[in-house]
Structure 1
């Protein structure tokens, strides 16, 4: 498998440069095509309105979203114009209400080998940033590479990679989706935190995954860590810093009684303080 179609989705003219620059570098490194979706989001949630005013509110919101989409598209074209001239790319503008965003993003993500997005948390981020990641992961079933605020860094060619391994189907999916990157890395650390005393890997935590990766030519090793901090995400983040990792690969977890999908606690914790790019899959 190789990454040949990359997708990034811009929902802000001010922040689109970060994701586009990172996505363009990765696309160039993998000889891939970059699709950019400039998405104007109607965030209006009309709870009630006076008779006759509803249509006016909706029309005004639509016009505002269309103008925003045009501004994002212009910023995206400017950003991509500053990238490597050999980059193959397309830009498309669209408008969506916040509640209908999932279907649009999922439809685009299904046909991408990798979706590249900025970190969804921060003072300037709206609710749509997390909704875009959730839609790509849980409905589009695509791997998502989340870039930290510092940008892609060494994401185009990560040399040192950490894998958060807990034997889950989500973690296994993330590993399979990351294989093109793992095979090119100099060192891959399979991180197991507080392995269970009972289970199929109790005598050799991470051993079966390591064997599979080595057979693919990956330079992999297993690191078993104790849970010495309150949250597993804290232990994992410290290990990423200690090994000077360029990339973290982990499963994305979703659980909620109120929504179809919402980023789980460990996933959200890692993204909130991500210092390196995080590749996730569900």
Structure 2
């Protein structure tokens, strides 16, 4: 059961799809919702301090604080309107530290909700997604910046490649799958034939949880895997996507895997990811 959810608010935008979606999700799950708004302080190189007037820096900090306060005020009002038990918090942090801080905070929740990185946006949502995915140990729902609808779970597509990461994502999504009417277990192949029936065991496992599950296989020969998944989800009018969030470590940093990055760049439906 999902009973404790955290959402990263986007103070720079008057309309926050992640906040709206998280409120609807918390309402459907009967969960408590915490809204965090980061007041991002400008990162100024030491050598540039002398060339920037102090009042300019002060105005930037004050503006960030005000935007964060406005964001939590809007969030609280929207949550109260929907009857969702919530709390809010403004956190002041440098841009470089904010995402890591969110990932650490998300460890204490069942699920975090983050907005999809938007092209040309000043909000560093890509860093928040990566930190929640690789730094929290918890699942994260990424909400498209074009999202306007409340949560809908009638038709859920779960991506399956037999990996531990995919299994983790499906397990983490179990409370949401239980509210669905239809679950499709999607396998994307590269066209190579096999005598095996991959996915049958996982489909059986989900069916034992009394889910209405079907196993689907598609071939991606002239299109990358991420776009093949999104095309399939769009063609089938899916409401929600579940997939493993892939990446590889470079020293102490994580780099997103190809399919994960493709999904994040072009996603059109809310997506639960786990690593």
The TM-score normalised by the length of structure 2 is 0.89
In the aligned structure 2, how far is the partner of 1:254 from the partner of 1:138? 8
Answering whether residue 96 of structure 2 is matched by residue 99 of structure 1, we say: yes
User: Offset at 1:15?
Assistant: 5.0
Give me the whole-angstrom Cα distance separating, in 1, the residues matched to 2:201 and 2:150. 28
1:276 is paired with a residue whose SS is: coil
Rounded to whole Å, the distance in 1 between the matches of 2:5 and 2:189 is 35
Corresponding residue for 2:125?
129
1:160 equivalent in alignment to 2:155 = yes
| 1:18 paired to 2:17 | yes
Supply the distance in 1 between the matched residues of 2:16 and 2:28 (Cα, whole angstroms).
18
Aligned with 1:267: secondary structure? Answer: helix
Runs of 5+ consecutive residues of structure 1 not aligned to the other structure: none
**1:207 matched to which residue of 2?**
200
Specify every segment of 5 or more residues in structure 2 that has no aligned partner in the other structure, as ranges. Answer: none
Q: TM-score, normalised by structure 1?
A: 0.87
Q: For the Cα contact (< 8 Å) 1:229–1:235, is it kept in 2?
A: no
Which is worse superposed, 78-87 or 214-223?
A: 78-87
- Other structure's SS at 1:210 match: helix
1:29-49 residue CA offsets vs partner (Å, 9 max, x unmatched):
111111011101234251634
Aligned-pair CA distance for 1:230: 2.3
Whole-angstrom distance in 2 between the partners of 1:85 and 1:197: 50
Aligned partner (choices 204, 219, 237) of residue 212 of structure 2: 219
Question: What's the counterpart of residue 39 of structure 1?
Answer: 38
Counterpart of 2:3?
A: 4
Secondary structure of 1:213's match? helix
**Partner secondary structure for residue 261 of structure 1:** strand
CA separation of 1:124 and 1:99: change in aligned 2, threshold 3 A: closer
CA RMSD of aligned residues (A): 2.6
Name the SS for the 1:95 alignment partner: strand
